Structure 1
């Protein structure tokens, strides 16, 4: 992901460039100024494997991801927003969560939401696939019901990680970014895991997900190979994922397709062939990769590289 920063502040129309930038980076998220306030902001970001990290700030404003935007640009992802200046009110479904400076809130990018900032604000944001967190659906739902502290403990480490990753983006080698993303996910789990401790199922899913991410380029990655690495039967491993409404095969496929989609959209990787991108994520059969990609995203890999997106009515 390219870093986006001061070009907004130097533009002839900062408000319009802020609208375009925010919408492009966050799947159709649209800002509107508070009464009698200028509309502008600043955003910097970096991709870390399955994780995306951002530092964002702006003038008083509201942001809205509509139902239409959610349909047009679906994303099975969670977002963690950590307030480092000001306060925010998150509105999603029937819940309103007030997030003060030094707190974080979790929300579901797949569903419409609103964020309201009533004063100048800044936040550190991390986005990642829902499945990558390794928590059960009930635990994920519980994480979204209240704010969490980030002034000390694991929350402070997570906040520092996101801010440092963005600040050091230019110095990070491509070969290390996925490993750093894994570290960010571990910190997020440390903050969000229920206080009663992780369930056995959640722990097994977490270990399996870590193995998948480390060996995703291996075309022989499967339920059998993962179960062997974790010293359990394939049936036992599959059962842990079935409890969360998923399968190991679907998880592997999702990690691979999301990774390939990110690489195809990364201008730094424009010189890599589509076959090379596919192979990097464990796809050795080009036609099978194209079919799987089109089935998931509604466009071919070459169309995705060209910036074509699926239009959903």
Structure 2
């Protein structure tokens, strides 16, 4: 995402509330069930079997084969929140499959979302095949036969949700064919999927916060994705708006009109969603810019960057307005804060 796929979505969801119109009360925070796996230290002859066993327990059962005689290399961290499963996977070249026979023996009743971060993947299904590239996600019913091939290894995130829950979000519409959706930053990016990728990434890395419970936000974003923007709640739109804001925070032209257009709603609707969350969109953008400015001003590696340059880097077109806004928010001028944090800094 952006210049570095490995840093995908690291700030797509900015750690703020996602309450919105008609949104249900957020789920009570609960302790995530965490599982980890690594082939490090495991004899090569046992790795494939243990890798299959782990995936069956952590995400979905898979029939896995290596591409050649090289020992399998694989790592995974998975988290379970209620009925949702989150996974972060890295591995060497391999093929994973769920054939009709395998599905009969190992039904999972789940919809899976695979976010490709590194390495192209071939995805074979009943209606043909797809090439999934970094920055693309594929959504599929895990009980419809598929085969995925990673000739150069893989790095991806995985989200699974029970099919019953998916059908509730989609208004009863089943997922008959795999669906590919862009989540990489750019014109083709789907803001709801990008926000969902950010939420999955933050959940796996712990950046969502110890008390955060991602279930409600995940379901809200999935509702937007599967309903074509017709059945989503304010919480889902709010998360998508936060994602777009983080991507374009440094752009001085970022405003309500652009944010609303990016996530597919009117400016009035956007303003109402933000107001119900407790902060108008313009105030939210200004607060995020000031928070970023404070980080830059106290970063020893950036002490040669002038205050004026910092103002421009975080999206303020006017240094004087930036200084006034910063002092109003933090009770100190940007230059004074820098001198306190970085003795010897003079600009």
Q: 1:93 aligns with which of 126, 137, 148?
A: 126
**Deviations for 1:43-64, whole angstroms, at most 9, x for unmatched residues?**
1111122211110111011001
**Deviations for 1:128-181, whole angstroms, at most 9, x for unmatched residues?**
02232311454733xx444111113222221121122122299745xx54xx11
Question: Please, which runs of 5 or more residues in structure 2 have no aligned partner?
Answer: 1-32, 186-190, 237-347
Relative CO higher for 1 or 2, CA cutoff 8 Å, sep ≥ 6?
2
User: How far apart are residue 38 of structure 1 and its match?
Assistant: 3.0
- Match runs of 1:99-178 below 5 Å: 99-133=132-166, 134-138=169-173, 140-141=175-176, 144-152=177-185, 153-168=191-206, 172=210, 177=213
8 Å Cα contact 1:37/1:59 also seen in 2: no
Question: Which residue is 2:283 aligned to?
Answer: none
Question: Which residue is 1:181 aligned to?
Answer: 215
Provide the C-alpha distance between the structure 1 equivalents of 2:139 and 2:42, rounded to a whole number of angstroms: 32
- Match runs of 1:1-313 below 5 Å: 1-6=33-38, 8-13=39-44, 14-133=47-166, 134-138=169-173, 140-141=175-176, 144-152=177-185, 153-168=191-206, 172=210, 177=213, 180-194=214-228, 197-198=229-230, 202=231
SS of 1:165's equivalent in the other structure is helix
User: How far apart are residue 32 of structure 1 and its match?
Assistant: 0.7
Question: Which residue is 2:260 aligned to?
Answer: none
User: How far apart are residue 10 of structure 1 and its match?
Assistant: 2.2
The alpha-carbon distance between structure 1 residues 101 and 170, as it changes in their structure 2 partners (threshold 3 A), is closer
8 Å Cα contact 1:15/1:40 also seen in 2: no
8 Å Cα contact 2:223/2:232 also seen in 1: no
Provide the C-alpha distance between the structure 2 equivalents of 1:76 and 1:126, rounded to a whole number of angstroms: 14
SS of 1:107's equivalent in the other structure is strand
**Structure with the largest fraction of helix:** 1
Q: What RMSD, in angstroms, separates the aligned Cα atoms of the two structures?
A: 2.9
8 Å Cα contact 1:150/1:156 also seen in 2: yes
Tell me the TM-score normalized by structure 2.
0.50
8 Å Cα contact 2:67/2:95 also seen in 1: yes
8 Å Cα contact 1:27/1:69 also seen in 2: no
Tell me the TM-score normalized by structure 1.
0.55
SS of 1:10's equivalent in the other structure is coil
8 Å Cα contact 2:181/2:193 also seen in 1: yes
Provide the C-alpha distance between the structure 1 equivalents of 2:175 and 2:48, rounded to a whole number of angstroms: 35
Provide the C-alpha distance between the structure 2 equivalents of 1:170 and 1:106, rounded to a whole number of angstroms: 23
The alpha-carbon distance between structure 1 residues 136 and 89, as it changes in their structure 2 partners (threshold 3 A), is farther
The alpha-carbon distance between structure 1 residues 167 and 36, as it changes in their structure 2 partners (threshold 3 A), is same
